[in-house]
């Protein structure tokens, strides 16, 4: 089974502020949709609640400590710890961890792949951050740059990391 952490982060690993993104990158949203559609997505409660409604064609696993938390949507399951969420996807060939910051920190030891969109701008107002990528544990295997254009205020680079294996 492959667990992939997928995120967009600015310089200094900024993810967002007040449970919202700090940028609008339509091509990155399209990539996120293409990669995650048809696969389970694991997220914290605040990330889930930042969506207007569940994302189509994906099973949502929402992590919360609130034992009474209920989700009134199909294809949504509540787990009370990351380990419980991971157990729910053990029979899937691929699952994604989609945030937020604390869930990424907890999820990093379980992940085999990181799909990171590096937004080339600093966001000092950010209050949530992606964990630092330890290059002793992770190897960059692919990158693709996207320049600014009329739909993208910031340039960004898609970075794919694979967990290094002990050799």
- pLDDT tens digit sequence for 43-86: 999 999 999 999 999 999 999 999 999 999 999 999 999 999 99
What percent of the chain shows pLDDT beyond 90? 96
Instruction: Report whether pLDDT(110) > 50.
Output: yes
Q: How far apart are CA 13 and CA 127, in angstroms?
A: 10
Q: Walk across the sheet containing 41-44 and list its strands.
A: 76-79, 60-63, 41-44, 94-97, 2-11, 113-122, 156-163, 138-146
| pLDDT > 80? residue 125 | yes
pLDDT band at 92 (very low <50, low <70, confident <90, very high): very high
pLDDT over 60 (residue 167): no
Tell me how many degrees the CA angle 58-128-77 measures, rounded to the nearest 5. 25
Q: Where are the domains of the chain?
A: 2-43+92-163
Burial (CB count <10 Å: 0-12, 13-18, 19+), residue 30 = exposed
Confidence of residue 127 (pLDDT cuts 50, 70, 90): very high
The pLDDT, as a whole number, for residue 1 is 87
The architecture that CATH gives domain 2-43+92-163 is 3-Layer(aba) Sandwich (3.40)
Average pLDDT over residues 93-118: 97
pLDDT on residue 70: 94
């Amino acid at each position: 089974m492959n667990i992939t952490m997928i995120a967009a982060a600015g310089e200094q690993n900024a993810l967002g502020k007040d449970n919202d993104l700090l940028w609008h990158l339509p091509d990155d949203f399209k990539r996120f949709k293409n990669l995650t559609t048809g696969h389970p997505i694991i997220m914290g409660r605040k990330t889930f609640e930042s969506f207007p409604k569940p994302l189509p064609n994906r099973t949502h696993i929402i992590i919360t400590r609130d034992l009474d938390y209920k989700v009134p949507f199909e294809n949504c399951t509540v787990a009370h710890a990351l380990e419980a969420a991971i157990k729910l996807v053990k029979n899937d060939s691929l699952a994604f961890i989609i945030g937020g910051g604390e869930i990424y920190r907890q999820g990093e030891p379980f992940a085999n792949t990181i799909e990171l969109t590096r937004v080339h701008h600093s966001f000092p107002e950010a209050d949530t951050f992606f964990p630092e990528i330890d290059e002793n544990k992770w190897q960059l295997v692919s990158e693709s740059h996207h320049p600014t254009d009329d739909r993208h205020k910031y340039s960004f680079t898609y970075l794919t990391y694979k967990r290094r294996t002990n050799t």
